[in-house]
Structure 1
Amino acid sequence: MPDPDARLGAGWRRSTDRAVTTSSDATGLHLLVADEAQAYAWRTAATLAEPGLDADQWIGQACVTGSGRRAVVVYGPRTFTNREPLMQRGGFTAVVDLDTGAVTKLRERVSLAYHNPGCGAGERAVLSRLEMPAPTGGAAHTWIGTVDAAHPTRAIRAVRAAGQVTSTVPVGEKLIGSKGASLMRIGAKGRTTTVATASASPFRLLADGRDAVAFQVVQDGRTEFKRFAAGRISDHGSAPKGEIKLRAGAGGRVFAVGGRAKARMTEQLPPGWSAIDGLPDSDVSTTGALVVSRATTGREAAGRPAERPDSGQADRVDISARRVANGGPLGWTCTTTVGDRCGRSGVRAGPSA
């Protein structure tokens, strides 16, 4: 970033803020990282793909653990979304050390749904998949596995819960997920217990500090923002559907992100939540200092593979972001080669970003 002393203010070299986002192309799902202490110089921490699988684009999602050091990632070829068995339980999994770039691939295959994986306020994360009954009969179950990202080679602690449980996150020593209109606690043997019932189906569950859960419901065309703590649900405002979404930071931070979110939501939010102006699907940095609105090659799912010849090289990616403190837009263009930094390929700073 040009002139970081002026743009980031005093003390940026001691900052712990870290931005993490993903970009995808035919070579893999790229995990991109930028630290404020390095003037937000972007680098590719890891590229995730599997040998022997042809893909015009790899897709997936990641969550960052409470320390901000690690990411838990679910990924797979884009075409997996066209077949329900692969969508529900075909995703590959890995834990990435964002400092060193070390990748630990896990054995389990899981859902590629948007809510998977789910990180807690510490170093634990949850992976899940829906297991359908056999043709001869039986009931559907949800496989739920807890990963210790600080020790990714340890065995995953797994249970099976009856029915479909989604959006599960670790909360303290418990696991909380969504089933129907209820928040469920998933026990050590997979038994589910209703801990609260919402006005509609809870989704986008996020760890809210060490012992609470933030979530959304949709009713009458509006998204309602809620918090479950100390055995009860509290209400914290609403917005037209899709205009504001809850996004996670590190360590149990919760951000309400959307157009004019700060003016519209701040007074309604509980302590510990923050409202940030930006696109609702933006990735927010670990402490909320930077909002990444996009990281794109411009060719994602752009057409048939024949229309996108595979050069064997990673596509160039454009990253657009905004500094929350002063609202200044920033942009980078770079390749996604592991170990390289975007600063070598160019950085834009100004209103065009």
Structure 2
Amino acid sequence: MVVLEAESADTWEAVVSGCFVPLNCAGFEPDFTGRMEHTALDERLSVSLVTTCGTSAERSPRLAARAATDDLHLSLQRSSTGRVVQDGRVTPVRPGSVTVYATDRPYYLDYSPPGQQQLIVQVSGSSLGLPARMIEAATARLAVPSGQRSSAAGSLFSYVAALAGAGGDPAGAAGGERGDGPRPGEAADVARDLAQVMIRASFGGGPVVPRTAGGLRHTVQEFLRAHATTPGLDVEEVARCHFVSRRKLYQVFGEAGLAPAEFLRRERLRAAARLLRAGGPGARPVEQVAYACGFDDPTTFTRAFRRVYGCTPREWRARPAPTPPATL
């Protein structure tokens, strides 16, 4: 990862032009600050976390005419608001908005409100293996429709957030609990796979399943985190939801030294630990916490909780919550 900081719009222009494509930038605050955390996963895909106090960026017709690549920007707005303009279309962005725009055509980014942060995947359009008409349609509408983007876009950006050090789950991006990180080229393949899935899924027309083991594993992990407390959820149901066999699911998890059932159990225990910490007059009894987090009975829950946390749920609840480290 390369971390670059700027304290003027001119310096920032050099930073973003070096990491992305040549752009004209302007600052909107007298004391401008910008920070770029940039990771090149391969020659045709990079991930960046961009934080500024307010700026604009323009890919002018002159600059776009000199484009040497067919790169796309897949951008998640993490904080503040703004707008993206390309080919006469304007789409507003707010936290959670996902946009797709082409860098070989002129565009304008208005990120003038303060407190800006975007997570950006820059990827060669031709490297995605998608039909040219689909990429053209995706960039023509700019915004990924909110009703269609939730799970596929969530999988992509949670994966690249970990790679960019932007608060994602490093274990998920690295491939599991081995802690050895992805093999050379694996992270790029998975990110590209998840980007392709997001674009395909945004047009509807049936299920889209990641083709890489890492992409499928990460997608299932995100699903399990979101649905861990669903009563009766088991590996068979998870496999059906992702249009793969139970054997395939165990295979892709096994490559990372995991078992899907164990991953689900640990996510349920994390949810339970959070509920147990939520004290006060409305605090749920331990038995209710067990059932609310998908366990069939309190005894099984207590046994599993002790194995992972080294104490019973009641003892955990009685312990004081960890004190956040003091800031200097």
TM range, normalised to the smaller chain?
Answer: under 0.3
TM-score (norm 2): 0.26
Instruction: Specify which structure has the higher proportion of helix.
Output: 2
TM-score (norm 1): 0.25
Work out which of the two has the higher radius of gyration on C-alpha atoms and give 1 or 2.
2
Instruction: Specify which structure has the higher proportion of strand.
Output: 1
